[in-house]
Amino acid sequence: MDLNQLWQSTLAELELQISRPNFLTWLKNSRLIKKEEDGKVLVGLGNNFAKEWVENKYHKIVLESLRSFDETIKKVEYIVLVEEKKIFFTEKEPALSGKGNLKTDPNRQAILPELKIDSETNLHPRYTFDSFVVGSSNELVYAAAMAIIKDVGKKYNPLFIYGGTGLGKTHLIQAIGNEIKNFYKNKIKVKYVHSEKFVNDVVTAIRNKRMEDVKNKYRNVDVLIVDDVQFIGGKKATEEEFFHTFNVLHENNKQIIISSDRPPAAIPTLEERLRSRFEGGMIADITYPDYEMRVAIIKTKLQEKNAELSDEICGLIANKIQRNIREIEGILNKILFYQEFKNIEPTPKIIEEIINNTAQQSSKNITNNQIIKAVADFYEIAVNELISRSRKKGVVEPRQITAFLLRDILDMSYPDIGEKLGKRDHTTAIYSFEKISKEININKKLNQKIILIKENIYKN
C-alpha cells in the first residue's frame, strides 16, 4: 500500500467513528506525508486548529486505524500544511506588515492574556474606556461618566443610562467601575451586579431567611452598578429590597449607576417610588451610532484583534449594520474566522454574503434541541451528559457554549436555559452567557468553535 492508499483506508475507517460534521471539519484536507524507518508517520492537517483538535481528541483512533492497516507504524505526529494565501488581515509585526501575499505563521496564537472577572467587584477587565469609542450617540453619557469618576457620589446620583440592546451600556457602566477601581486604588469599593442576579439573591435570601446577606453584600459598597434594571420591575420583594438599598446608599452619598433598555417611565411595572428615585438623578440615553462612529468602532475592534481590513470593507460593514454594535463584532469575528480557517478572501461581495447570511440565519426555525444536539455532536459527548448536572471537566465548556447559543440564537430566558441544562439556577445561565460573549472576542479558538457549531446548526 502506498502512503495515499494507506491514508484513504485510514480515513474510511475513521469516518465510521467520528461524526460526519467533525470528520469533514477536521480531516477533510488531511494527508499522510511520510513514514520514517523507525515507524513514525507524519500527518498533515489543514490548519493549526485542526492539528490541535486531532491531536487531543482523535489521536488514539488515528493511531489504531493506521496500525490496523500497517502494524509497523509506532507513532503519529501532526503538522500543519502551510499554504500560500492571500491575506487581508495583516500581522502587526514589522517584518510582515502591509504587504500583499504573505505566508501566515500557523503557530500564531492569540497572545492576549486571559482576562477574568474580578470576584470582588464582578467587573470584567476587558471593559475599559481605552476600548470605548465616544461619538455622537454617547457623548452625553460619557461626559456624565467622567464627572462621576472625578467626584464619586456627589455629582449625578443616580446616573441612569438607557438605550437599545448592543449599544454599549454594559461596556460603559463596567468601564466606569474599572476606572474608579483603578484610579482610587481600591479605596473606593465598587460592585457590579446584573439585576437578574440581584433578584435571585433576594429570592434566595428570603427562602433561607437570610436577608442580612443581601444587605451586607449590597449596602456596604461605595459604588453600586446595576445592569439591566428593567428586570426588577414587577418583582415586589426585590423592588422593596432595592428601594431600601438605594436609600441607604444615596443617603450616605454612595454612587449608584443604573442601566436599562428603556427610561424609568417606560418600565410599566416599576413601583412609583422607585421610579421617582431613578428620576431624581441624571438620566441619559445612548442612541444609535452614526456612520463615522461605526467605522471608528470597527477600527478599534480590529486593532484589539490585531487585524486589519481595507477602508472599503470597513465602510461596507458600517453601512450594512447600523443598529447594534454587538452585531458588528459578530460579523468581524466571522470574517476573521473565514480568513484564518477557511482561507477565504474578503471581497466586498463575500462580506455582503456573510452579512446577509447572518441576518437570515437568525430568523430561521431552530429548536433548542437542535442546538443542544449540535454542541454534543461537536464535542462528541452524549446529549444526556451535556444537559446533566455533571461537573466533569470535559462538559463544562460545551455546556457554557450551549447556554450561550440558546440565548444568542433563540433569546431563551435565563431561567429556561438553567432548567434545560440540568435544572440549574438561572444565574449559572447568566454567568455562562456573559462569560462566553466576552471570551468570544478575545479567544480566537473559542470563536472558531462557536462558528463551526453554528454552521452545523444552520446546515441541518
Q: Which residues bind Mg ion (CB under 5 A)?
A: 170
Residue 168 binding ligand ADP, by CB under 6 A: yes
- Minimum separation from the CB atom of position 259 to Mg ion (A): 7
- Minimum separation from the CB atom of position 428 to ligand ADP (A): 19
CB count, 10 Å around CB of 352? 14
The option from Mg ion, ligand ADP, none interacting with 44 (CB < 5 to 8 A, set by class) reads none
The rounded distance, in Å, linking the Cα atoms of 437 and 447 is 10
Residue 128 binding ligand ADP, by CB under 6 A: no
Hey, is 209 helix, strand or coil?
Answer: coil
Q: How far does CA 227 lie from the centroid of its chain?
A: 17
Instruction: Please enumerate in sequence order all residues whose Cβ is within 8 A of that of 244, keeping only pairs 6 or more positions apart, or say none.
Output: none
Task: Return the bridge partners of 77, or none.
Answer: 42
Residue 9 binding ligand ADP, by CB under 6 A: no
Q: By the 8 A CB rule, do 321 and 290 touch? A: no
The rounded distance, in Å, linking the Cα atoms of 454 and 374 is 8
Tell me which residue has its CB nearest to Mg ion: 170
Which of 165, 216, 220, 319: binder of ligand ADP (CB under 6 A)? 165
- Minimum separation from the CB atom of position 421 to ligand ADP (A): 22
Greatest alpha-carbon span in the chain: 84
The rounded distance, in Å, linking the Cα atoms of 412 and 128 is 29
- Minimum separation from the CB atom of position 161 to ligand ADP (A): 9
Which of 169, 254, 399, 449: binder of ligand ADP (CB under 6 A)? 169
Q: By the 8 A CB rule, do 126 and 442 touch? A: yes
Binding positions for ligand ADP, 325-344, rule CB under 6 A: 325-326, 329
The rounded distance, in Å, linking the Cα atoms of 205 and 343 is 53
Residue 167 binding ligand ADP, by CB under 6 A: yes
Q: Cβ closer to ligand ADP: 224 or 328?
A: 328
Residue 133 binding ligand ADP, by CB under 6 A: yes
Q: Cβ closer to ligand ADP: 80 or 173?
A: 173
Q: Cβ closer to ligand ADP: 169 or 420?
A: 169
Q: By the 8 A CB rule, do 213 and 252 touch? A: no
- Minimum separation from the CB atom of position 217 to ligand ADP (A): 23
- List the Cα angle 317/323/329 in 5-degree steps: 50
The option from Mg ion, ligand ADP, none interacting with 427 (CB < 5 to 8 A, set by class) reads none
Binding positions for ligand ADP, 93-112, rule CB under 6 A: none
Q: Take residue 256 and report the three cell numbers written for it.
A: 449608584
Q: Which residues bind ligand ADP (CB under 6 A)?
A: 131-133, 138, 163, 165-171, 297, 300, 325-326, 329
